[in-house]
Structure 1
Amino acid sequence: MVEQLQSFTESLPELLAWFGVLVAGAVPFVESYFGSVIGVVAGVHPAAAIPVAILGNAVTMLVLVMGAGAARGRLASDEPTEPSSRRRKLRRMFDRFGVPGVSLLGQSVLPSQITAAAMVSFGASRSAVIGWQLVSITLWGVAFGLLAVTGMTVADLG
């Protein structure tokens, strides 16, 4: 199956293959880490697959953070509603670990787009959230991309 995916990817124009990885990275729960893996397994060179997946994830995170900041400003005067259990859990994590901790660890639980927007809605600085999310997205994308490269190399040796 991997060989079929790779030969299909090789038959595509290079920019189209990159676009597929970009879109995969932009999807919540796929993000930079699985987007990198998808790109590497599909046969896109890791030097392209990893940064393109990171870019896709970063763009959607930025859009949602900017939207959350704008929405927070508009909704600040509205009456508060009872937060969901997930939101309460994320808030406890935010209060305990702050922006860096939620950014670096939160992707193991929820997509970066959701955690980033939630932190901004909690009142965290947009620039701090964006900065730490970019660090986290990059670290997760590179780590999983390199694991995929290592796995593909081991599979080729076997």
Structure 2
Amino acid sequence: MIDSLQEFAGNFPDWLQWAGVLLVSAIPFVESYFGSVIGVAIGLHPVVAIVVAVIGNVISMLAFVYGAGAIRDKATKNKQVEEKPKRQRLKRMFDKFGVPGVSLLGQTLLPSQITSSAMVGFGANRNVVAFWQVISIILWGALFGVLATLGIELALR
């Protein structure tokens, strides 16, 4: 899948390849971390690759957060919400680590779009979730972008 996405982004004209990286970074499970790797791998400057990957991921995540918030508001109006067994693990993590912890660590388990939607579904403040998710997206994108750059430089030696 990553090869296909890399080919997709790489097939854009050179001056527009950043847009391909932005688009693929909006896809859950690709996100800023694989988006920045794809950008570096197709030859974008690492800073450009990381920035556009972060922007693509943030746009997608914000759509999920505020969309989930609107759905939750309608679904829970005058009702009590029951938790499904599949969400209980994430809920335990949420209860233990809070919004910052789930935002920063949740990327290792699930995409930011899913974890952020779940946290909003649990009743977390949308703006707080969005804030911490943006921080997490930036950190993960930068980490993977730097690792990709170092890996490519090492491979070229």
TM-score (ref. length: structure 2): 0.89
Quickly say closer, same or farther: Cα 1:10–1:155, change in 2 above 3 A.
Answer: farther
Q: Does 1:14 align with 2:28?
A: no
Matched with 1:64 is 64
Asked whether the equivalents of residues 10 and 20 of structure 2 are also in contact (C-alpha less than 8 Å), the reply is: no
- Check conservation: 2:12, 2:20, Cα contact below 8 A: no
**What's the counterpart of residue 23 of structure 2?**
23
**Equivalent residue for 1:90?**
90
Aligned residues: 151
User: Residue 128 of structure 1 aligns with which residue?
Assistant: 128
- 1:22-43 Cα deviation digits (max 9, x unpaired): 0111010010000000110111
Q: Percent identity?
A: 54
- Report the equivalent of 1:99: 99
Matched-pair contact (CA < 8 Å) for 1:9–1:44: no
Q: Which runs of 5+ in 2 are unaligned?
A: none
Partner of 2:140: 140
Q: Which runs of 5+ in 1 are unaligned?
A: none
Q: 1:44: how far off? A: 1.3
Paired residue secondary structure (1:29): coil
Q: Tell me: CA distance 1:82–1:121, structure 2 relative to 1, closer, same or farther (3 Å).
A: closer
Quote the Cα distance in structure 2 between the aligned partners of 1:51 and 1:81: 39
How far residue 13 of structure 1 moved from its aligned partner, in angstroms, is: 3.6
* Pair 1:65–1:10, CA change in 2 (3 A): closer
> What is the deviation of 1:12?
1.7
Q: 1:10·1:43 contact (CA, 8 Å) conserved in 2?
A: no
Rate the CA distance shift 1:48–1:78 in 2: closer, same or farther, 3 A.
same
CA RMSD of aligned residues (A): 2.0
CA contact (8 A) 2:99 2:129 kept: yes
Matched, 1:33 2:39: no
Say which SS state the counterpart of residue 138 (structure 2) adopts: helix
